[in-house]
Amino acid sequence: MNTIPARFGGEHALAAVPARVVAFTRRHPIRADATLSLALLFLFEAGNVLRLSPWGAMGVVLTLPLALRRRAPVAVFVVISAAALGQWSIDAKTGADASLLIALYTVAATCDRRRTLYALAVVEIGIVLAVARWTVDGYRFGAFVGLSAMAVTAAVLGANLRTRRRYLLALEERAQRLERDQEQQAELAVAAERARIAREMHDIVTHNLSVMVALADAATMTVHSRPDRSAAAMEQVSGTGRQALTEMRRFLGVLHEDEPDAARHPQPDLARLGALAEQVRAAGLPTTLTVQGDTRDVPAGAQLAVYRLAQEALTNTLKHARPGANARIRVRSSPERLELSVVDDGRPRARDVGDGEEPRGGRGLAGMRERAAVYGGDVEAGPLPGGGWRVSALLHLTDPGGS
């Protein structure tokens, strides 16, 4: 039956007392230690202090330094040890010697093992001197063992506390390190996702806009001489624009998993290369497509990568090659690898070539290499000896790491 009145909180209030005491000592260590030193002083030397006896002054020297034991543990231990030696030299008995055990505990809890052993040795020497002077014959061995056990216990408790603190500190550092690693991994994942989105947006927007510009130029040139051809070109512009919007919606739908239409709009694959070649032909770039090998078992991601690579290469040809150029797309598939080659025979426009620079550079080539790197491959691009431009890519299907 609980005999503590409810207004005092009962057992819960008693259970909270140690936690409050620990919290107070952590927030105000000097106040807590000063309270401890005063308690020891009045416990062992209250009468002498009230009578202003010299023995009371000795108790003050033995106990009051404990107020600074956490700030300067070694210095406090030295002061109390010196006071205990002085007490022994004048043959003054006092229970305030217990402060030496508290000082030893503090040294063990805050200092390394070497200093702890030195402090324990000092206390043991003091125990030998005290037993030799103040213990009668026949009881000296028992007194020595008992006091030594108390000293060793204080040192062991302090050392265990130091070890526990280091262990907790190591756990905290590990948790912080893991948290930083997780944040870095999240940042890397976000950066990779941003790069992927940038590649997709670049390929979708750049290609379709290039085709639309080429068709609009053709419509402008034939609007008076060939109205029917101009109208057909504008229809192609409209169709290309709608296709671009469809691809954008499809891509954004994949980004949002809750998009209901995302699953009904698969990403482009090798089967769409024919439609890509037809679209480029309609924009004024005669293009042929050759596919060698069985592509049915090629992973969907690799098919999308090859499609985007071909799309970017043809977009560059539309943008940079002079009129009259032709393009050839060749895809070669095997169980181990997937090869792509896009070659055109057109020379670059003069404005596309600077002093000492190669044409058709920029963000597109970097994005192409990033796509191929996912499958342990690479992309090579450069001019041909007889004129024209060649883009080749190799994707490893069995070992994405490329090893």
Q: What is the pLDDT of residue 350?
A: 53
How does pLDDT run across 325-366, given as a tens digit for each residue?
Answer: 889 999 999 989 999 999 998 776 555 544 434 445 556 777
Contacts for 325 with CB less than 8 Å, ≥ 6 apart: 285, 317, 344, 345, 346, 347, 388
**Domain annotation covers residue 226:** no
Q: Which amino acid, residue 43?
A: L
**What CATH number corresponds to the domain at position 378?**
3.30.565.10
Distance CA 374, CA 192 (A): 11
In a domain, 246, yes or no: no
**What's the pLDDT score for residue 192?**
76
Q: Are 202 and 306 in contact (CB under 8 A)?
A: no
- Which residues touch 394 (CB under 8 Å, ≥6 apart)? 337, 338, 339, 340, 372, 377, 378
> In sequence order, what are the residues at sequence separation of 6 or more whose Cβ sits closer than 8 angstroms to the Cβ of residue 50?
56
In a 13 Å sphere around the CA of 377, the CA atoms on its Cβ side amount to 24
Sequence-distant (6+) residues with CB within 8 A of 241 are 208, 212
Give pLDDT, residue 300. Answer: 84
pTM score above 0.85: no
How many structural domains compose the chain?
2
Q: How far is CA 106 from the centre of its chain?
A: 38
Distance CA 80, CA 59 (A): 10
In a domain, 203, yes or no: no
- Name the domain boundary from 113, 134, 155: 134
Residues of the chain where predicted confidence (pLDDT) is lower than 50: 1-15, 258-264, 353-359, 400-403
In a domain, 234, yes or no: no
Please indicate, yes or no, if residue 182 is contained in any of the structural domains: no
Name which of 316, 254, 306 is nearest 285 in CA terms. Answer: 316
Beta bridge partners of residue 287, listed in sequence order: 327
Domain assignment present for residue 370? The answer is yes
> Which residue, of 134, 168, 199, is where some domain finishes?
134
368 found inside a domain: yes
User: How far, rounded to the nearest angstrom, does the alpha carbon of residue 400 sit from its chain's CA centroid?
Assistant: 25
Q: Which domain holds residue 273?
A: 266-352+359-396
Residue 10 sits at φ, ψ, to 5 deg, of 65, -145
Put the strands of the sheet holding 287-292 in their side by side order: 287-292, 327-333, 337-344, 389-396, 378-383
What tokens appear for 36 in the block?
């401890």
Q: Give a yes or no: residue 279 inside a domain.
A: yes
Domain boundary residue, one of 101, 134, 167: 134
